[in-house]
Amino acid sequence: MTTTTVSLCVPTCDRPDLLVRCIDSCLAQTHTGIEIVIGDDSGDERTAQVIAERNGNDARIDYRRNLPALGQARNVASLFERARGDKILLIHDDDFLLADAIARLLAPWQRHPDLEVAFGDQYETGHDGRIDYAASRRMNHAYHRTPAAAGLQALPGRVGIVQMFPNNGWLANADLVRRIGYDAQYGTCCDYVFGTRLCLAARRVFYVNAHVSCYRITDVSVSQATRHTMNASSIAAWQFLERLALPRELEAARKLAMKRLVPIVVSLHARNHEARAGFALALGNLYAYRFGLSVRLYYHLLMIWKASRNQRAETILLRGVPDEPPAVDTTRARMP
């Protein structure tokens, strides 16, 4: 029996301490037909030295330092091009796999040979790699990964749109992955854009209701560093989804995804003193707030009101014009 070769693509940048756990988890896979393709955007030699010392003689590892650095999206795209396996799995350097991840993800192909994509559940961990089980349950439920949803997906495109598709813990046919590519246009949202386009293009997508990977929350994660700014992935995801051309049968999925994204984007506008944009977005998408029945709407309106006051105060300060004419103190006698 021919063993399916899987290319595990690992983009990394200046995080050798976290990368070690990621590589170890790849090497520990129960499925033996693997190669580990690493693209290093680091600004120094630490990552190269760690890999040379720990894995320098391992023929399964294909390491390359990018000089100059390519950036996240171009780095991932280059890994897809270098991959020689029949299937591709993407795992970011701060995340890691469970030992049977590939075996679990490959299993559906035995029953469905024409399958193109499979994915599973994620655990959420802290910086130390310890699993937070309660947070993991909430995350998977929020992204519609539930026992009732297991198996072949009736609408493959829906999987990507509603963010059921994870940023790691997925496996796909290499030719499909390369055809979709990895677009740098959407910055920190490139994972979501890729997953959506992959699922829209796939004819058959399978959800394995089992944990296969660990998503690590760290202070150095791009998503964490930008989550309160206008560069947050939620802003880019909303913009991408709003402009995405979809068939009629997927409009319900778009609305479901927007129901989650819109309140996040409204709050980001308020946090970043974009009061008018936040107010317009909230009023234009009241379904996301259950048409006024959600307390969250009034909290966000309060945030917007405060942002509006701050904007006005900053404008007055910059112009050097007082908000109101100075009051005249009539109790004092005039100076001679």
Q: Which residues of 71-94 are buried (b: 16+ CB within 10 A; e: fewer)?
A: bbbbbbbbbbeebebbbbbbbbbb
Please give the DSSP secondary-structure letter assigned to residue 215. E
- pLDDT (tens digit per residue) in 56-103: 899 999 999 999 999 999 999 999 999 999 999 999 999 999 999 999
- pLDDT (tens digit per residue) in 234-265: 899 999 999 999 999 999 999 999 999 999 99
- d(CA 61, CA 59) in angstroms, rounded, equals 5
Q: At 205, is the secondary structure helix, strand, or coil? A: strand
What is the Cα gyration radius of the chain?
24
The pLDDT of residue 116 is: 98
Distance of CA 298 to CAs 13, 80, 234, 263, Å? 41, 45, 21, 11
- Single pTM value for the model: 0.86
Which residues, in sequence order, are bridge partners of residue 121?
211
State the average pLDDT for the chain. 89
The pLDDT of residue 221 is: 59
Compute the Cα dihedral for 288, 290, 296, 297 and give only its sign: positive
pLDDT above 60: residue 329: no
Residues in Cβ contact with 41 at an 8 Å cutoff, skipping those fewer than 6 apart: 11, 12, 13, 14, 66, 69, 70, 71, 72, 75
Report the percentage of the chain scoring pLDDT > 70.
Answer: 88
> What are φ and ψ of residue 256, in 5° steps?
-65, -40
